[in-house]
Chains A and B, each alone.
Chain A
Amino acid sequence: MFITYLRRELAGRRKQTAIVAIGMALAIALVIIVNSVSSGVQLAQAKVLESVYGVGTDITVSQTPTAPAAGDTSGARQKFDFGAADGTAADGTTTVNTSRLSATRGTSTFDSTALATVGNVDNVSGAAATLALENTTFNGALPTRTQGSAIADGAAPAAGATPPEGGPDGAGGSSFDVNSFSVLGLDPTNEAVGPLSAVTLTDGRSLAKTDAGTNVAVLDSSYATSASLATGDTVSIAGTDFSIVGLVTATSADAATAANVYIPLDVAQTLSGLTGQVSNIYVQAASSTDIGQVQAGIEKALPAATVKTQADLASSVSGSLSSASDLVKNLGLWLSLIVLAAAFLIAVLFTVTGVTRRTREFGTLKAIGWSNGRIVRQVAGESLVQGLIGGAAGIAIGLLGILVVNIVAPTLTAGTAVAAAGPGAGAGPGGGRFGGATQAAATSDIVLTAPVTVSVILIAVGLAVLGGLLAGAIGGWRASRLRPAEALRSIA
């Protein structure tokens, strides 16, 4: 009787069933799509972060940059000074050239003994230190200065004076070229944690234990292509030639690696004059449940350090991926909650209205001996089935929406404004960020995908059941309160 009555009621009151089911379907579809896109955004963020921080890095430790002390010009805008005797003069043109390896602007270095301190924190399963640097090369060609040839700024040459000559254009002009790329010094004996754990070797080899103290380098393959470099070539860092032993690319095809050039940490420290200094420590916790405790332990052991978990790092992702993340978290979440609440409300109102309209029906059923429980079950069953119909339609619409997202596959740009070394976007030969960016930034194009997971489907089914039961419980409660005599009297 239960099934027959339920089937007849749902079929006989198609309009109500359709409205409740459509409301529920839209809400559930929205929840599915938002949930799925949110997972996609998180995956994209993880890809970007993995490319910078490495696979399995749970925590990063850095030092918050501080204002420079009086007289300290290291943090000021970069400048290159040349003496009168500097450069090579030929054919009336003096060529000057200098190269500098310094800490990435916007980052701060700290003593490498912090690595041991971090390693002693409970439940730290691995830790690696890196030194984020930026190699800046200045090349200039200017006319060779001769005694008495100087002309005051803005003054026209005196009548009968020799016209300017020399320089790259032969007429007294000058040409300057600034080139910079990011360099990451890392411990070649420990690649399990840190940026190189997230890369794929495309040519040659990676850094090995025996590379400590030697001038060898591994290049990001994108950078190598743009700089016309290959394995076996040399790359000049701070005026020192490094043999290129391998090329790496990000594990995810969508993301860039953390730096343009990777060299042994000790060599990086010596060349940059930052002996015994590091800029980042990458930490792996023994398990995901230990991350909070490890973070607290490091913060206690290194009070001056900035300790960030992957969740904190996700907020460092910028670009349209960040906008998408904000959109999903804010608008998407609230929109789905509002629509869901509206759908639940519609289901409840329709059920309660239905019970009120069916007063005669329920009064009659009570008069012929139906118990309150049987009537409540009937009402709840009808609402539950309406919810499930809405849930099934919602899953179908939601999957369709996800399919559309995956077909459209929007490409999002993502940047990480982080204290670690970035690949120096745009930094190639002739390019450069001379005195420009204050922080390293890794930018990537990420194709947004919306994965379908079992949990998303389970959430949808759960919401459908919840909505149906909620409406059924309230409607059933109202039906159970109908006294048969009053129900029949109200009819009369």
Chain B
Amino acid sequence: MYELTNVTKKYDQGKRSVVALSNVSVSIPDGQMIAIQGPTGGGKSTLLQMLGALDRPTDGTVQLGDADLSRLGDGKLGRIRATQIGFVFQGFNLIPTLTAQENVETALAPIGLGHAERRARAAAALDSVGLGDRGGHLPAELSGGQQQRVAIARALVKEPTVLLADEPTGNLDEETRDEIMDLLEGLWRDRGLTLIVVTHDSAVARRAQRRLQIKKGVLKEVA
């Protein structure tokens, strides 16, 4: 469960200070599917970084389970990202020189699994997203939808409790968008994940149990 309390994030740009998040407080129970919407520059990505233990707030606290993400050091934040949080990015962010199988395995490297177990789990993850036969392909040899499936397999292979998706369908056509959202929704239901999706797309947002709107750093619940 996430508990954000009075989270403020400021960035210094020369002599100017930009407030990306302003006193954001929100509770996200385990297993919920949430959509975060808002205009460009409104603070969506910053909020996602706070939730994903990628950055610390200037003020306030970000609690994930027992861990206060706003207080932990880089090493412990890295450990939490390695074990509890999965990321899916708009641009897929696959490593171009590695095959689909090896890309999925990169998520298991920090956990310290043996080679055989790593391979087996990566193969199973690819199978679960419908790409069991594409493990040997490089990202450039896959379609956009397939690449996003590989990215989803990479995010889920370590069996995280939270899946954060930043515009996961932003680079995809409508048909593929629906396929990917069906896949994410299915995995969310099957695995009991907390799924937080940042999106511009209202069609995607409508699939969520709960919708949040962030504008000029201020978070509001959408009825």
Contact = CB atoms under 8 A, between A and B. Distances in A.
Contact of B154 (A11, A368, A491): A368
A5 B102 contact: yes
Interface string A465-492: 0000000000000000001110011011
Contacts of A374: 109-110
Contact of B54 (A9, A484, A491): A484
B97 interface: yes
Given A1-B106, A360-B93, A492-B45, A371 B78 contact: yes
A316 interface: no
Contacts of B108: 1
Contact of A370 (B91, B102, B110, B158): B110
Contact of A369 (B45, B82, B97): B82
Contact of A5 (B52, B98, B118, B154): B98
A4 B98 CA distance: 8
B78 A13 contact: no
A13 B158 CA distance: 29
Name the residue in A8, A12, A367 with the highest tally of chain B Cβ atoms < 10 Å from its Cβ: A367
Nearest to B115: A1
Interface string A352-380: 00000000110111111111101000000
Contacts of A361: 93, 95
Contacts of B102: 1, 4-5, 8
Interface residues of B, number: 34
Contacts of A9: 97
B97 A367 contact: no
Given A368-B154, A369-B83, A360 B91 contact: yes
A488 B52 CA distance: 12
A365 B109 CA distance: 10
Interface string A79-103: 0000000000000000000000000
Interface residues of A, number: 28
Q: Tell me the dominant secondary structure on chain A's binding face.
A: helix
A371 B54 contact: no
Interface string A412-443: 00000000000000000000000000000000
Contact of A365 (B106, B111, B158): B106
Contact of B87 (A368, A371, A372): A368
B49 A488 contact: yes
B91 A368 contact: no
A367 B110 contact: no
A83 B96 CA distance: 103
Given A5-B102, A485-B49, A369 B96 contact: no
B185 interface: no
Given A1-B106, A5-B102, A488-B89, A368 B82 contact: yes
A1 to B, nearest CB: 4
Nearest to A373: B75
Nearest to A13: B97
Nearest to A9: B97
Interface string B36-53: 000000000100010010
B81 interface: yes
Contacts of B159: none
A367 B75 contact: no
Contacts of A363: 93
Interface in A4-47: 4-5, 8-9, 11-13
Interface of B: 45, 49, 52, 54-55, 74-75, 78-79, 81-83, 86-87, 89-91, 93, 95-98, 102, 105-111, 118, 154-155, 158
10 contacts: A1-B105, A1-B118, A5-B95, A8-B102, A366-B54, A368-B82, A368-B155, A369-B79, A369-B107, A370-B110
Given A5-B95, A368-B86, A488-B54, 8 more contacts: A5-B102, A13-B97, A367-B54, A369-B78, A369-B81, A369-B107, A488-B45, A492-B45
Interface of A: 1, 4-5, 8-9, 11-13, 360-361, 363-372, 374, 483-485, 488-489, 491-492
